[in-house]
Amino acid sequence: MSLRVLDISCVWEAKAQLGEGPIYDPRDHTLLWVDIKSSKLFRLDLATSEKNEWYAPIAISSLGLRQAGGYVCSRKDGFHTLKIEPDLRLQFETISDPEHDLPLNRFNDGKVDPEGGYWAGTMEDAETDDAAGQWWRLGADGRVEKMDGGYHVTNGPAFDVERSQIYLTDSARQVIFVAKFKNGTLSDKRVFKRFSPDEGYPDGMCVDRFGYLWVCFWDGSCLRRFDADGHLVLTVDMPIIRPTSLVFVDAAAYVTSASIGLSDEAIKAAPLSGGLFRLQFDTALSPEDRFYEVFY
């Protein structure tokens, strides 16, 4: 199918070090995202453009909506619930810390799956251990299970509902995997796509309503859209060097980005690095609402 990008704009010049984890909350039409390295949480009201910003006591790395209210999130110290109180205080409650015995690790990217569970991947914070990363799933019954391991830098996941598939990325190795996902189990994992150094590093991902996989490319200055067979069908160039993740809201995509590690020269060439961007398309791309709930 043909798809046109009508506009690309920066909607929040946040100058995030490591912007990540955007989610859309249809309950109040807001977009939330984080800066992992600066321990910040951001919220943008898409109707009024009102902005809120918080420092979290321990950095949030990813978020998901919770059916009972508020959010579920991953931090360095595991899975938690999060509520934003009427007076704008952040309230956390611990669920589980599956890697309490791995102090050098931290959680990274994560997302709600179509069955109401919440996935989050880990990695060694210093990125020296190339196999320390693992994928964990918080189930609808509250149990936490290890789903996969041996990753350098975990990113994603993304879910293809029609094909009962999950995509998982090892960004440092420049590879995206695909596997069958059904009834809380992972099977038949294989390489979906490998990339060369000049293409950048695959980072956050999302599947649109038509089953195409969208991937942000760190040091690639672009988003790429792939069909289910791994064929590239569209490249969207971005005015930043390190786009990190995205979420669809109707006919728009909101894209986070990073400024960490960029030279002064690179920042001068891409001054909006670390901002939140809005891409307007000519077609609605949002997946079904079931992606916006987590049950437990």
C-beta separation of 243 from 223 below 8 A: yes
Active site residue 203: yes
C-alpha 278/C-alpha 28 separation (Å) is 18
Residue closest to 203 by CA, chosen among 232, 171, 241, 160? 171
Say which residues have a Cβ less than 8 Å from residue 219's Cβ, sequence separation at least 6: 200, 201, 241, 242
**Dihedral (Cα; 218, 223, 229, 233), 10-degree rounding:** -140
C-alpha 256/C-alpha 279 separation (Å) is 11
Long-range pairs of 261-269 with CB within 8 A, sequence gap ≥ 24: 266/241
Among 203, 208, 219, 237, the one annotated catalytic: 203
Does residue 26 have a cis peptide bond before it, meaning omega lies within 30 degrees of 0? no
Residue numbers annotated as active site: 203
